[in-house]
Amino acid sequence: MSRPSGILRATLAKDLRLEWRSKDAINSMLFFALLVVVIFSFSFDPLAEESRRIAGGLIWVAFLFAAVTALNQTWARELRNQVLDAYRISPAPANSLFLAKAFGNFIFVIVLEALMTPLFIIFYNLRAVGPAWELIPVAVLGTWALVVNGTFFAAVSVRTRSREIMLPLLLFPFSIPALVAMVNATTNLLTGEDSTKYWIVLLATYDLVFTIACLVLFETVLQAE
């Protein structure tokens, strides 16, 4: 089926190209996450032993807030240029558009995490006690969990009043299982207590369930009027 994947690739390439030229989203997200790191460090002593227990939570809260700033503008460009209306009329499957947006957001947030992680390690004097490679599935699955629901809820909230606040209002409660898993897996890796295996399985389950749910319901939401 070349058409849906063609649309997916075209939309994704367009978004990445636009973003690379303007660097709007990535710059604002980066700066925001950096600010969060610095401000959080004033609430506790980042060099103390206990910091390793809370660092996992802080990192993911910082990434979550930064992801929200990126997700909020997911559909803004489309809305401005009436692209969403065009999509509703076109025979192109809505899922291609959704996946393109989700993958685009995923790439943005992963790049952000890759840039911020060294800063966290330095500022909070972190060191992985457990197997460090396990951070990769945690980061990948965790980021996808935030981004897949975030892209969907961004599409839902783009048609509401107060759309910027609506997205986190919707995303935060629904992301709680994924956040619990991400934070605990990261904390376990940093402190070396308990295994991350089951948290990774939980994250994978969450990702599977909600990716399917988003794909099934996105067309409905797109057509809602």
Give the residue, chosen from 55, 116, 170, 190, that forms a contact with another protein under the rule CB under 8 A.
170
Q: Does 1 bind another protein (CB under 8 A)?
A: no
Cα–Cα distance for residue pair 137/130, rounded to 1 Å: 14
| Residue from the set 156, 189, 190, 200 that interacts with another protein by CB under 8 A | 156
**How many whole angstroms separate alpha carbon 81 and alpha carbon 77?**
6
Cβ-based neighbours of 134, under 8 Å, separated by 6 or more: 185, 189, 196, 200
The Cα angle at residue 135 between residues 210 and 169, in degrees rounded to 5: 40
Tokens of 76: 């803004």
Contact between 39 and another protein by CB under 8 A: the answer reads no
User: Is residue 166 part of the contact set for another protein (CB under 8 A)?
Assistant: yes
Q: Which of 22, 27, 90, 160 binds another protein (CB under 8 A)?
A: 160
Helix extents (H) in 23-93:
24-41, 51-72, 76-80, 83-89
For another protein, which residue of 39, 45, 85, 172 counts as binding (CB under 8 A)?
Answer: 172
CB of 162 to another protein, least distance (A): 6
Residue where the block lists tokens 């990716």: 211
CB of 123 to another protein, least distance (A): 26
Interaction between residue 210 and another protein (CB under 8 A): yes
When binding is defined by CB under 8 A, the residue of 48, 202, 204, 211 that contacts another protein is: 202
* Distance (Å) of CA 192 to CA 52, 139, 151, 197: 10, 17, 33, 13
Closest CA to 141 of 178, 170, 175: 178
Q: Which of 41, 73, 174, 191 binds another protein (CB under 8 A)?
A: 174
Determine, following the binding rule CB under 8 A, whether residue 29 of this chain makes contact with another protein: no
Residues that bind another protein (CB under 8 A): 149, 156-157, 159-162, 166, 169-170, 172-174, 176-177, 180-181, 184, 194, 198-199, 202, 205-206, 209-210, 213, 217, 220-221, 224-225
